[in-house]
Amino acid sequence: MVQQISHQRPVQNSEVYVLRQVPPFPPLSPPSPITPAEDFDDAPIDARSLTQPDITVCAKKLAIEERLSRAVHVIATETTALQHLTNLYSSDRCARDGFTRAVDTITTRHGNGGKLVVIGVGKSGHIAKKLVATFNSFAITSVFLHPTEALHGDLGQISRHDTLLMITFSGKTPELLTLLPHLDKSLPLLILTSHIRPETCDLVRHRPDTILLPAPVHEAETASFGVAAPTTSTTVALAVGDALAVVVSRELYPSVSSVFSRNHPGGAIGAAFHQQQKQQPPPPAAQPPQPLPTVNLPPTIRALMTPLNTISTLSPSPSHSTSLTGLDVLRTGYASPSGWVWVNTPSTPTNATTSTNSHGGGGVVSPRRIRRMDTTDLASTLDKPGWLVTPRRAFVSVAADSTVLAAAKWVGGDVV
């Protein structure tokens, strides 16, 4: 029997048994509070909020900004309209031609003792009254005529040498259309309107010889301000009227400022003029006249133009159905004081076959074209348009004081 021997020895191996985990260090202490300075105010901050007065002040500021924004919008819109108007009269031939004809008409009729009769109703009537005051201050006699009052006796204000100026944005004001048939057709008529072409204006269609003064706006007032109140339209109309008054006065008087000051002795303008007169030095002593140097000025249209009273008129005889021929033009040109011939169309009313005082419709024949006629041209009739007669619709209005060179450049070709 084998004897079993038991020995009580510990078991030895390389494993390590961790019975319990102990933190190696004690926990960190919390940070110390900041030591307050001596001047530190530790009083609690009062809670503030928007009270009713604060909200009212803020709303008022917003209302003021909106008010000023609207005002700036109106001013900017009217400024833009005036800029478009400036571009129109700087480049558009129809507008420039109408303005030139208007100035020539007013100056000529004023020299004959006529006055300017300005007609308008509504806001255009107020613009008309302001322009009348401006023309009168420049010693250009003007009166205002209300179209309704004109039909009730005020037509007596109009004399045979006057010029008529109608102001209407639409060009079809009912009061003006009603008055138009009662106005003397021999009187020149000017229309200040938004239309830039005569064929679109109702008043011009009733009087084809009307002089058009365009005063358009770049956009409708309903689009600009949401209401069709006359604002931009009256501004541009006033600008064109003021331009007309200033230009006419400068062509009538060598010193517009002296004329205006004489007619405006009151108010700040009159006081400033009198003060200026006091400060002016006394005139120098009279000096013996010195011979003026000879200056060769460029020729002007006024110096070279042919007066109408020297142009003979050729009209078809009402008792004969035969048409006018080139031979008739040659005969009339031979007898004409200037060599020029005015050929009336068959629709032009006339009582004389040849005269020197009837220049209604038709066209004109220059001596140069008469000399170019050959035998075939002498036998040809004038029924159909040809090279011989220059029709009136082809005429271009040029200021009388323009130089020939400037006029030729402006027309864009040689002077006929």
**Three-state DSSP class for 53?**
helix
Residue 147: per-residue pLDDT: 97
Residue 274: per-residue pLDDT: 59
What global pTM score does this model have? 0.55
Residue 240: per-residue pLDDT: 98
Which helix H or strand E contains 354, and what residues bound it? strand 354-355
Top-confidence range, 25-34, 43-52, 347-356: 25-34
How far is the first Cα of the chain from the last one, in angstroms, to the nearest whole number? Answer: 164
User: Taking 60 as the threshold, does the pLDDT of residue 82 lie above it?
Assistant: yes
Residue 24: per-residue pLDDT: 60
* Structure confidence at residue 415 as a pLDDT band (50, 70, 90): very low
Tokens found for residue 185: 């057709």
Contact 260, 137 (CB under 8 A): yes
User: Taking 60 as the threshold, does the pLDDT of residue 149 lie above it?
Assistant: yes
* Structure confidence at residue 161 as a pLDDT band (50, 70, 90): very high
Q: Which amino acid is at 214?
A: P
Residue 279: per-residue pLDDT: 62
Which helix H or strand E contains 276, and what residues bound it? helix 267-279
The span from the CA of 272 to the CA of 264, in Å, is 11
The span from the CA of 300 to the CA of 399, in Å, is 9
Domains by residue range for the chain, with CATH: 93-222+229-264 (3.40.50.10490), 301-411 (no CATH)
Segment 245-264, tens digit of pLDDT: 999 999 988 887 777 777 76
Instruction: Count CA atoms closer than 13 A to 122's CA, side-chain side.
Output: 15
- Taking all residues of the chain, what is their mean pLDDT, rounded to a whole number? 82
* Structure confidence at residue 416 as a pLDDT band (50, 70, 90): very low
User: Taking 70 as the threshold, does the pLDDT of residue 285 lie above it?
Assistant: no
| Farthest-apart Cα atoms in the chain, separation | 184
User: Taking 70 as the threshold, does the pLDDT of residue 100 lie above it?
Assistant: yes
Residue 331: per-residue pLDDT: 87
Q: With CA atoms as reference, report the closest residue to 247 among 84, 142, 99.
A: 99
In the predicted model, what is the mean pLDDT of residues 200-210?
Answer: 95
Segment 320-363, tens digit of pLDDT: 556 888 888 888 888 888 888 888 866 544 444 444 445 556 78
**Residue partners of 343: CB distance under 8 A and separation at least 6:** 313, 314, 315, 324, 329, 362, 363, 364, 365, 382, 389
* Structure confidence at residue 372 as a pLDDT band (50, 70, 90): confident
Sheet of 354-355: strands edge to edge? Answer: 354-355, 312-314, 341-343, 363-365, 390-391
Q: With CA atoms as reference, report the closest residue to 378 among 308, 313, 319, 331.
A: 331
Sheet of 142-145: strands edge to edge? Answer: 142-145, 116-119, 163-167, 189-193, 211-214
